[in-house]
Structure 1
Amino acid sequence: MARYRGSRVKVIRRLGLLPGFTSKSSNKPQNNNKQLSQYGFHLQEKQKLRYNYGISEHELIKYVKSARRKRGNSGDKLLQLLEMRLDTLLYRTGFVPTVASARQLISHGHINVNGKKVDIPGFNCSISDKIVINKEILKSLNDKNNSFSTLNCSHLVLNELNNDLTITVTNLPDIQVLGYSINILLVLEYYSGK
């Protein structure tokens, strides 16, 4: 799947701050002079979601269809599915600054889930999964970036064992606590015909 490799600051200027997308900030003010149509608002919210989680259009469509099949609020189910991805879980722990850097860490084979090496960033974790990160990798990450902040991740428990850091998924993430600036209902309306 193709990933966005263009200028991240341009996207931030257009869509606003997306913490999972980049840790950079724009010096120029956001241009709010344009009047967006209803379709434009829907598209903008969908793009925020895509860029924040680093997923393609095709992947997002699959997640929306899967969320609609589940019982309960489709918007909450969609966000829970996206939050239970391995790359997002690593980002939520605060050891990597963005979802893209979590994807790189996973694709290079530095992560084990339940004792097996996983190199797929979109791997869907479930409750009671144990994610293990080698402590040497964490040390090199902390040497490069000292500005990590632990994000709100009440559904994750961190433990240090031997030379490894273990992250245990205890329950599903609480969507209200995550504090999104994305209107998920507009995203679902965007995909209502698909």
Structure 2
Amino acid sequence: MARYRGPLDKLSRREGFNLYLKGERSYTEKTAIAKRNYAPGQHGKNNKKMTQYGIQLRSKQALKRIYGVLEKQFRKYFEEADRKAGKTDEALMQILESRLDTVVFQMGFAVNRRTARQMIRHGHFLINGKRVDIPSYRLRAGDIVEIKEGSRTIQQVKEGMELAEKLNKSPVWLDVNKDQFKGTFTRLPSLEDMDVPVNLQDIIELYSK
């Protein structure tokens, strides 16, 4: 599947805020968004007022880039969320947060979602004791994510766990046992549990046109 392989800092600059895509560096003042807080390109410094459509589009693009999801898959997620009973915005975020690559990152086993995807594809993780190498695999309540015994000493795991400890990151819907290199996806998170950096209503309105 095609993926964006360009500079990650450029994506944050395009959206106008830190998307935290580069691991530990994203949490320092060395990021490009901290040094050049304007969009990339020769017209990046122009403060042109955006239309309502432009604002909605930027919200969608930012959320897609945070989770590393392409347009076709993101639209499918939205359509699935829209069919569910309850709030569409909450259902959409639950779908994104239940992806295996996001859970691996949130558990602190990778410094970012991109690294988590690479590790998953290389077969470093077990779900309920079985190898799963699909980053978009969706977890259900009670599923146990575990790093394979032979993969627990690789550098990516070490860096992920060190960063998670520094950030004191512990989402309430995950139960992580770092000593055993495993964690449980205890439940779907609610909107109140999550720190959503974009206006989800913008995305709903954009796709509802």
TM value normalised by structure 2: 0.83
Runs of 4+ off more than 6 Å: none
Task: Select between 182-191 and 150-159 the one with higher mean Cα deviation.
Answer: 150-159
Select 1:96's aligned residue among 110, 131, 134: 110
Q: Kindly tell me the number of residue pairs found equivalent between the two proteins.
A: 190
Q: More displaced, 49-58 or 26-35?
A: 26-35
Flag the 1:37–1:160 CA change in 2: closer, same or farther, 3 A. closer
* TM-fit CA distance, 1:176: 1.9
Deviation at 1:57, TM superposition (A): 0.2
Identity across matched positions, percent: 34
Contact 1:42 1:190 in 2 (8 A): yes
Note the residue ranges of structure 2 that are not aligned, 5 or more in a row: 39-44
1:147 Cα deviation after fit: 3.2
State the alpha-carbon separation in 1 of the partners of residues 89 and 46 from structure 2.
Answer: 27
Say if 1:142 and 1:67 are closer, same or farther in 2 by CA, change over 3 A.
Answer: closer
Aligned CA-pair RMSD: 1.9
Partner amino acid, structure 1, of 2:87: N
2:42 paired residue number:
none
Q: Give the match for residue 64 of structure 2.
A: 50
Measure the CA separation in 2 of the matches of 1:32 and 1:125: 43
Amino acid paired to 1:2: A
- Residue 66 of structure 1 aligns to a residue whose secondary structure is helix
**2:111–2:159 Cα contact (<8 Å) kept:** no
Could you tell me how far apart the structure 2 residues matched to 1:116 and 1:167 are? 14
Greater shift in the superposed pair: 181-190 or 57-66? 181-190
Q: Distance in 2 between matches of 1:143 and 1:157?
A: 19
Q: Which amino acid in the other structure matches residue 13 of structure 2?
A: R
Deviation at 1:2, TM superposition (A): 1.1
1:53-132 aligned at under 5 Å gives the runs 53-132=67-146
In structure 1, how many angstroms separate the alpha carbons of the residues matched to 2:177 and 2:184?
Answer: 8
Q: Which runs of 5+ in 1 are unaligned?
A: none
Partner of residue 199 from structure 2, selected from 183, 190, 194: 183
Taking the aligned partners of 2:177 and 2:204, their CA distance within structure 1 comes to: 37
**Structure 1 pair 89–150 and aligned structure 2 pair: CA distance change class (3 A):** farther
Distance across 1 between alignment mates of 2:136 and 2:158: 27
Residue 52 (structure 1) shift = 0.2
Per-residue deviation, residues 168-192 of structure 1 (Å, max 9, x unmatched): 1111113223212111110111111
1:118–1:169 CA distance, 2 compared to 1 (3 A): same
User: What's the secondary structure of 2:4's corresponding residue?
Assistant: coil
Query: What is the distance in 2 between the residues matched to 1:168 and 1:186?
Result: 32
Counterpart of 2:163 in 1: which secondary structure?
A: coil
Equivalent residue, structure 2, for 1:13: 13
**Higher normalized helix content (fraction of residues):** 2
Aligned residue type for 1:147: L
Q: CA deviation at 1:55?
A: 0.6
Q: What is the letter of the counterpart of residue 6 of structure 1?
A: G
Distance in 2 of aligned mates of 1:178 and 1:147: 19
